[in-house]
């Protein structure tokens, strides 16, 4: 299927979908498309005012779907646990969890629990949320966990187990690379652990180059350069959301697959299965990161 679009999304009526960071950018476009195909979409957002505005806009154009809000701050394990408790109380099943929210190239800072901000938000926050919601996904045949990575998982990227929180040194690009590589290591290890259960799969996606708020933390010298290049390398958020939408809804998706744009250097285009770096497929890295993530978050998954 060379040009997969939102027209290819199957009917989502009756499916409960939780999307992190869904009030803007890729998350908003993903929620809009799924609600338009009948899904019950939960916008898991930090800013409830922005979330209410997003929910109203989606509801106005998607009469088939239903949109609700869930407060979620991925920089706080307390908030993640509270959100998971509320979601588990409100829904006896979750068909789809899309780990979409993220930050990129931030100056050195930490989450409320002391984790480096990019690693803590992009990986540890989603690791904890997924583990706390997994018992609502496991009983549902065809349920999925889709985690959004990035081309950045190849750029100066490794898992620095000797300094995961970048306390001895800090490079914002390398720290982003670590976080996005962690998203893929997590996806592949999660899929291996889910496979024996036969109900839920884990997949990943990346948007290529997309015009979203993610670039708001660009360093001062890079911002004007990116402004000149953006029309050449970036696509709009609706197109950038297609890979995660395909990973979330295409009946042919297999566990452990990774979707991205089909254009030059995967920067733009329609979604297809793409490859990730050799490091992302390193089983030792996957298992070690999983063990460390359980230790740091205190979240132990209810699967072997």
Active site residues: 176
Contact call for residues 131 and 186 (beta carbons, < 8 A): no
Distance of CA 159 to the CA centre of its chain: 18
Contact call for residues 101 and 214 (beta carbons, < 8 A): no
Q: How many CB atoms lie within 10 A of CB 38?
A: 19
Token pair for residue 162?
A: 């000797």
Helix (H, G, I), strand (E, B) or coil at 4: coil
- What are 100's strand-pairing partners? none
Burial 41-69 (b: 16+ CB within 10 A, else e): bbbbbbeeeebeebbeebeeebeebbbbb
Residue closest to 153 by CA, chosen among 121, 107, 129, 119: 119
**CA separation for the pair 48, 146 (Å, rounded):** 23
């Amino acid at each position: 299927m060379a040009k997969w679009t939102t027209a290819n999304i199957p009917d989502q009526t009756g499916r409960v979908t939780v999307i992190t960071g869904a009030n803007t950018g890729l998350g908003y476009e993903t929620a809009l498309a799924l609600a338009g195909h009948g899904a019950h979409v939960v916008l898991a957002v930090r800013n409830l005012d922005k979330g209410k505005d997003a929910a109203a806009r989606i509801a106005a154009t998607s009469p088939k779907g239903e949109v609700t809000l869930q407060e979620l701050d991925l920089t706080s394990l307390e908030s993640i646990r509270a959100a998971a408790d509320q979601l588990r109380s409100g829904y006896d099943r979750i068909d789809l969890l899309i780990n979409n929210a993220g930050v990129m190239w931030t100056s050195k800072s930490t989450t409320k629990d002391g984790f480096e901000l990019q690693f803590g938000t992009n990986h540890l926050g989603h690791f904890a949320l997924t583990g706390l919601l997994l018992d609502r996904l496991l009983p549902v045949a065809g349920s999925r966990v889709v985690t959004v990575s990035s081309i950045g998982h190849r750029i100066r990227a490794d898992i620095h187990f000797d300094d995961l929180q970048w306390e001895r040194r800090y490079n914002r690009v390398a720290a982003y690379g670590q976080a996005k590589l962690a998203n893929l290591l997590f996806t592949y290890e999660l899929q291996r652990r889910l496979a024996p259960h036969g109900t839920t799969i884990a997949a990943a996606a990346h948007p290529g180059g997309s015009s979203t708020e993610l670039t708001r933390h660009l360093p001062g010298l890079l911002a004007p350069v990116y402004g000149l290049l953006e029309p050449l390398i970036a696509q709009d958020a609706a197109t950038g959301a297609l890979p995660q939408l395909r990973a979330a809804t295409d009946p042919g998706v297999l566990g452990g697959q990774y979707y991205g744009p089909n254009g030059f250097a995967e920067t733009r285009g329609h979604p297809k299965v793409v490859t990730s770096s050799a490091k992302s497929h390193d089983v030792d890295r996957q298992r070690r990161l999983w063990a460390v993530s359980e230790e740091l978050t205190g979240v132990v998954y209810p699967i072997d």
